Structure 1
Amino acid sequence: MQTVQFKNRDITIAGHLYLPQNLNGKAPAVVVVHPGGGVKEQTAGLYAKYLAENGFIALAYDASYQGESGGLPRFVEDPAVRVEDISAAIDFLVQQAQVDAERIGVLGICAGGGYAINATLFERRIKALATVSAVDINGLFRAGFGAEPVPALLGLMQNVAAQRNAEASGADELTIPYVPNSPEEFNEHTPEYAKEAHDYYRTPRAMHPNSPNKLLFKSVPKIFAFDAFSQVSDFLTQPALLIAGSKADTAYFSENVFKQIQGDNKELYWVDGATHVSLYDKDVARAVPKIAGFFTQNL
């Protein structure tokens, strides 16, 4: 594994580049996109490591404004920038002597899966797409706010507007958590994936100092304005593999995308008994052979 940097416009992106052992000549490469609030040292790095063991060059990186990457203010979740991060990662890969620029794929996990799907629609350098527990962050946030009716969500936007006014006048920037910080925050409306995410991100299981569970509050309108899947039926023509756990309460996102993809070069693969978050670590070894086989066939 090599520590690398590349640019998304004026932001320096921090990455880990995983290389196969005994690499001889050019090899196919995969960009690995982490979940919302995650960093490269967590599930994205784990998948990248396994991909390298299967003969692929794999790049995991921290999103703009997050982790070790640059960008101010911190903890922004801007879907448009997140999608552009993927193109910037490909810009980096095609400059590497070991990378076959005609054989580049993308693997996205959770919100990273939604970003990977959206990037693949128009980034034609992506030759194959794989996702794990993919979600559209817009839909996930709507569900996370209890599927509230639009008037309530408009009220949320008013709160963001008021906070922006306050910050423009000198108030401290407000952050909110991606996932519950403690089980005491669970209630009858807390979805299972959120409870699982607490156990993953906020306990020694996968806690990392660069992943502090902070989302800049004024990111929320950017998230609600984004639709990862809106043009899938028209523009997603590359081979696609969608992996979901049979017990994942977010699996409907993968089912939705699968139905929208035209043509036959697609697969929805179920990992029996797996949940949304178990595919971040506990069930990775069960998913990797399918992913490696898919990229071997399509890159």
Structure 2
Amino acid sequence: MTSPTIAQTITNSRDVLIPNLGWQTAVTIIYPDDFDEKRKYPAVLGAHPIGSCKKQTAGNVYGVALAQAGFVVVTFDASFQGSSGGHPRNIEDPGLRVSDFRFVLDYMVTLPYIDSEKIGAYGICGGGGYVVAATMTDFRIKACVSITGVNFGRLMREGFSQYNPVEALKGIAAQRTAEARGAERKQVQYLFPRVEDAKKTTTDVDLVEATDYYRNRSPHRCALTSGLLSFNAAATMWDDYAHAEVLLTQPFMAVVGDIPGGFGAYRDGNEIYARAASAEKELVVLAGITHYELYDHPKAAGKALESITPFFKKHLV
């Protein structure tokens, strides 16, 4: 099972390491084709999905396309993941994921060719949830787009805990105690080894297509699609959308496909659109589109960009 992709090789870019909380964050800056360092450019900050990395959909689909539209695009690997620092490896902590945005913004506003008053942000899947929380708490972000965004805390309390978050938290506590006493750290594998294995086990379109994306369409050494169980307690009580009725006031767009899957992006996109206090907000629902088609499928991601690009141009240019 493979699908066509609009992912492109990331060129005209630069990889840098920037300071974070005691470690470094790996950043990729993608420049417009006619980039002139003496000019000031609007910029967008891009966040990758959970289990992914900056060189996948956040960079090689949406990042490249937005750079071609005239923006300086900055993508980054989450702390403890990808090429970024932090130990132990492979932690998915929502609070730190949102904190990463602030450190990347700290770096962006020092770049002489970025107009610090014209910075937007986007995220895909889990990154599409985190970008909402980041926008609510850092008003250097002037416009926000959530692409098939998933509220990871809600997912942890539901599908990822078998709808029994209290028992899941008890298990996390026991595992943390065991590791403190010397046991090996336990990795939670989010996906199946092969698409055939997924199809034998589930009919959920998200799990099947996620396996295809990460195993076939866009494999990357930095995308581990797993996480440390003992550090998942913070995610279980998290809510990307907390206080959106008060704090999410910047222009906002949610892009979702209307085919629902187990990760719940269609539901979450409708929820945050309804809750956002933004005077200017848009909900883009793409008919016949799934969650993972929005990662790199020509029909889906191409259609999404037809809304996202003019949205950022309107509010940043």
The alignment's TM-score, normalised by the length of structure 1, stands at: 0.94
| Equivalent position of 2:275 in the other structure | 260
Matched, 1:100 2:115: yes
The 2-side partners of 1:286 and 1:89 are apart by 28
Q: Quick one: which of 112, 127, 133 aligns to 1:112?
A: 127
1:192-203 pair list within 5 angstroms? 192-203=205-216
Pairwise CA distance, 1:147: 5.3
1:292 maps to what in 2? 309
Separation of aligned partners in 1, 2:18 and 2:188: 29
Unaligned segments of structure 2, at least 5 residues: 1-12
| 1:139-172: CA deviation from partner (whole Å, max 9, x where unpaired) | 1233323752xxx322221211111111111111
Residue 240 of structure 1 corresponds to 252
Instruction: Report if the CA contact (8 A) 2:156-2:165 is conserved.
Output: no
1:205-260: CA deviations, max 9, x gaps? 11111112220111221111211111100100000011111224320100000111
Higher mean alpha-carbon deviation, 183-192 vs 66-75, is at 183-192
Describe how 1:10-29 pairs up with structure 2 within 5 A: 10-24=22-36, 25-29=39-43
**C-alpha displacement of 1:188:** 6.8
Match of 2:67 in 1: 52
Taking the aligned partners of 2:33 and 2:219, their CA distance within structure 1 comes to 29
Match of 1:131 in 2: 146
How many residues are treated as equivalent by the alignment? 295
Q: What SS does the corresponding residue of 2:67 show, helix, strand or coil?
A: helix
- Whichever residue aligns with residue 163 of structure 1, its letter is Q
Partner of 2:44: 30
Q: Stretches of 4+ moved more than 6 A in 1?
A: none
Whole-Å separation in 2 of the counterparts to 1:298 and 1:276: 26
- Residue range with higher mean Cα deviation, 122-131 or 172-181: 172-181
Between stretches 220-229 and 191-200, larger displacement belongs to: 191-200
Query: CA separation in 1, counterparts of 2:279 and 2:272?
Result: 13
Shift of 1:271: 2.1
CA offsets per residue over residues 107-126 of structure 1, 9 Å max, x none?
A: 01111011000011110101
Taking structure 2 as the reference length, what is the TM-score of the superposition? 0.89
In structure 2, the residue matched to 1:218 is 230
2:100 is equivalent to residue 88 of structure 1: no
* Amino acid in structure 1 at the alignment position of 2:184: D
CA distance in 2, matches of 1:261, 1:275: 23
Gaps of 5+ in 1: none
- For 1:95, the aligned partner's letter is T
Please identify, of 41-50 and 135-144, the stretch whose mean Cα deviation from structure 2 is larger. 135-144
Partner of 2:6: none
Match of 1:279 among 283, 294, 303: 294
Q: Distance in 1 between matches of 2:65 and 2:77?
A: 18
Counterpart amino acid of residue 241 in structure 2: F
CA contact (8 A) 1:180 1:186 kept: no
Looking at structure 2, the residues matched to 220 and 186 of structure 1 have their Cα atoms a distance apart, in angstroms, of: 27
User: Identity of counterpart residues, as a percentage?
Assistant: 34
Contact 2:158 2:165 in 1 (8 A): no
Question: In structure 1, how many angstroms separate the alpha carbons of the residues matched to 2:277 and 2:66?
Answer: 27
Is the CA contact (8 Å cut-off) linking 1:138 and 1:227 kept in structure 2?
yes
Q: Offset at 1:288?
A: 1.4
Q: Distance in 1 between matches of 2:76 and 2:86?
A: 14
Q: Describe the SS at the equivalent of 2:158.
A: helix
